[in-house]
A and B are shown apart, each in its own frame.
Chain A
Amino acid sequence: MIDAVTHFFSMHLAVLPVLLPLFTAIALLLLGDEGGQAGHTGGRLRMARAISLGSAVIGALLAWLLMSEAANGVLTVYPLGNWPAPFGIVLVVDHLSAMMLALTWTIAVPVLWYATGGWDAHGRHFHPLFHFQLMGLSGAFVTGDLFNLFVFFEVLLIASYVLLVHGQGRERFRAGVHFVVLNLVASALFLIGLAVIYGTAGTLNMADLALRVAQLGPDEAALFKVGGMILLVVFGLKAAIVPLYMWLPGTYAVASAPVAALFAIMTKVGVYSIIRVHAVILGDAAGLAARAAEPWLLPVALATTVLGVLGALAAHSLARLVAYLTVASVGTILAGVGLFTPATLSAALYYMVHSTLVVAALFLLVELVASQRGAVGDKLQPAPPVAQPVLLGLMTLLGSASVAGLPPLPGFLGKLMVLQSAAATPAHTVVWAVVLTGGFLTLIGLARAGAILFWKVLPTDGHPVASGSSWRLTSATLGLLGLSLVLAVAASPMKRYTDAAAAELSDPTVYAKAVLGQIDAFSSVSTRPYRGGEGEVKLPIKGDTP
């Protein structure tokens, strides 16, 4: 009996991070929402919080289990409905997917904990939407099919549209309209890119694409590159790279704190997709279409870092400052991807984990600080002193030093890895200059903000204008900051893991063998038995070789 259960569990482990939030969200929807009428102590709200948090913890455990399996070299392939790839959709959990899953769920738990401190009662259906967003994120990270990636993008986006306006208010709706329209246009572009890729290569399975792109003739390879570049625009919009980052600061700054913290992982979905398409499918082994993004990716990434840091220097509110730092960190990550070597990719992955954690923590911290400064909120102007200057000051110092890259914090290690791995590439001068200057300017911007927030206070009659934050909000923020510290302590195993991930990504044949090995289609007819005008149908039956 127990054997049967564990067997069933291990067989379906790959799909559980997608199904768990789906069923949790449905259960939470069925449970209903009192819409804040019952206050914070309503029985249904309490039950919803318990289910939501419990499910998130289970999800985190699943994600960690998958990551530990990936660390042991297991590449899990899960054919949905048992249709063999590339004809059916497969879920594939390799090093990178498992890492992104673990990162998502690890952030989700403290962010949900923070949200139960009050934000979830400021509107309806916060918890189901949060889990739908987690479902979209998990699905996007585990899917092995480009069209399926689009579907999960839509799932996570439609949840994010509603989460963004959670708490409502004019500013949120204004940003919401921009965000939704931009993303719908991007979705249209996504479909165009996918159609071009399908039209040339005849498949949308990632493993199959990585093999087939090398066999394309010059005409088709050129079209394929066009499809790839259209996808770069789409993913670039999600990741917020120059010149597509303009929507991010305004949007993230008006989102409620837990939503903004969760959105920190959303930009990384864009980065993840860029890695999958441009570093793997269109990587070195792509024949005529190899490294299609090389002339663009590195310059754009460095420009993103520069403009992100300048935006942070010019920001007039703490939330916008952190949002611009998100943009800058995406630039640094993509610089590592854009150098197209396994060493830089590995460094970029490490930096990505760190920056996501610390940016999420900073978004929570912004609200803690703002809630204690009275009417001024998070605006960078002198205000009455905060109620907990020592605690918040130290947390800000820790987060700032880490995001700016000061030793011995993980931000320093991440940047050091990027710089060290970039030293062997021809573009090292400009990468070093941009990353180091960017770090320095980040430090100046954060020092300015910290000085205004904690030192340049207006005189009051002794007692602060606001009370301290509840322990729930503080512990959630501290938890996220603590996780980024754990990353510094565990730097060595983490770096080994990202090294393995980068090595796996640089050789797509292993991945392709694992995915396509079940049928003889590996290196053969694969999909596209349907050739226009050629008349004859060639069915890819088992054992059929070209």
Chain B
Amino acid sequence: MSLEFLVATGIGTVTATGIYLVLRGRTWPVVIGLSLLGYAVNVFIFAMGRLWQDAAPILSATGRVADPLPQALVLTAIVIGFATTGFVVELALRSRHESGSDHVDGHEPGHAPGFRDHTP
């Protein structure tokens, strides 16, 4: 099995898991799903510079070098993904606080908006 096959399968599995979780009804699984999607996308960008072995990570005058641009791109994407994940966690908590439900629609299914379940 080639390295490419392994990496591609890994990205596919993580993406599928991420999509499944994003489609859940509660905010917490959705947040986890978004993170997983982010991880898969980051590895995907990284792999788009092709997978290299025995190559220098940055430009040197002699020998083979790996493509440095996807590495720079993926750093940017990681930082942005980190910030947005932090934000969405905070937003989900705040939404739970405002509506009394952690459902993404802001109310428990089968109950009117504003319903709060006080049973422990």
Contact = CB atoms under 8 A, between A and B. Distances in A.
B65 A537 contact: yes
Interface string A148-173: 00010010001001000100111101
A13 interface: no
Interface string A503-546: 00000000000000000000000011010100101010000000
B104 interface: yes
Contacts of B80: 151, 154, 187
Nearest to A200: B48
A530 B65 contact: yes
Contacts of A198: 45, 48-49, 69-70, 73
Given A181-B30, A188-B41, A198-B69, A176 B84 contact: no
A253 B22 CA distance: 25
Given A170-B114, A173-B99, A178-B104, A192 B64 contact: no
Range, interface on chain A = 35 or more
Interface size class of B (residues with CB under 8 A): 35 or more
Interface in B75-120: 76-77, 80, 83-84, 87-88, 91-92, 94-95, 98-99, 104-106, 113-114
Contacts of B73: 147, 194-195, 198
Given A174-B105, A195-B45, A195-B48, A185 B37 contact: yes
A191 interface: yes
A192 B99 contact: no
B43 to A, nearest CB: 10
Contacts of A181: 22, 30, 34, 88, 104
Contact of B98 (A173, A180, A191): A173
A151 to B, nearest CB: 6
Given A158-B87, A195-B44, A198-B48, A188 B92 contact: no
Of A169, A191, A192, A199, which is in contact with the most chain B CB atoms at under 10 Å from its CB? A191
Given A154-B84, A174-B95, A185-B22, A532 B30 contact: no
A451 interface: no
Q: Name B's interface SS.
A: helix
A174 B45 contact: no
A154 B79 CA distance: 11
Given A173-B91, A177-B106, A196-B48, A185 B41 contact: no
A253 to B, nearest CB: 15
Interface in A203-254: none
B77 A176 contact: no
Contacts of A168: 98
Interface string A422-458: 0000000000000000000000000000000000000
A180 B99 contact: no
Contacts of B37: 184-185, 188
B26 to A, nearest CB: 11
A340 to B, nearest CB: 29
Interface in A91-110: none
Nearest to B63: A537
A192 B65 contact: no
A199 B74 CA distance: 13
Contact of A173 (B50, B67, B68, B95): B95
B52 interface: yes
B50 to A, nearest CB: 4
B41 A151 contact: no
B94 A173 contact: yes
Interface string B30-65: 100010011011101100111110000001000111
B41 to A, nearest CB: 5
A176 B63 CA distance: 51
A176 B48 contact: no
A176 B92 CA distance: 9
Interface centre among B45, B63, B66 (most CB of A within 10 A): B45
Contact of B38 (A188, A199, A539): A188
A228 B76 CA distance: 21
7 contacts: A154-B80, A170-B98, A170-B99, A188-B38, A191-B45, A198-B73, A539-B59
Interface of B: 22, 27, 30, 34, 37-38, 40-42, 44-45, 48-52, 59, 63-70, 73, 76-77, 80, 83-84, 87-88, 91-92, 94-95, 98-99, 104-106, 113-114
Interface of A: 147, 151, 154, 158, 161, 165, 168-171, 173-174, 176-178, 180-181, 184-185, 187-188, 191-192, 194-196, 198-199, 527-528, 530, 532, 535, 537, 539
The 6 tightest CB contacts between A and B, nearest first, are A174-B106, A532-B50, A199-B48, A530-B67, A195-B48, A173-B95
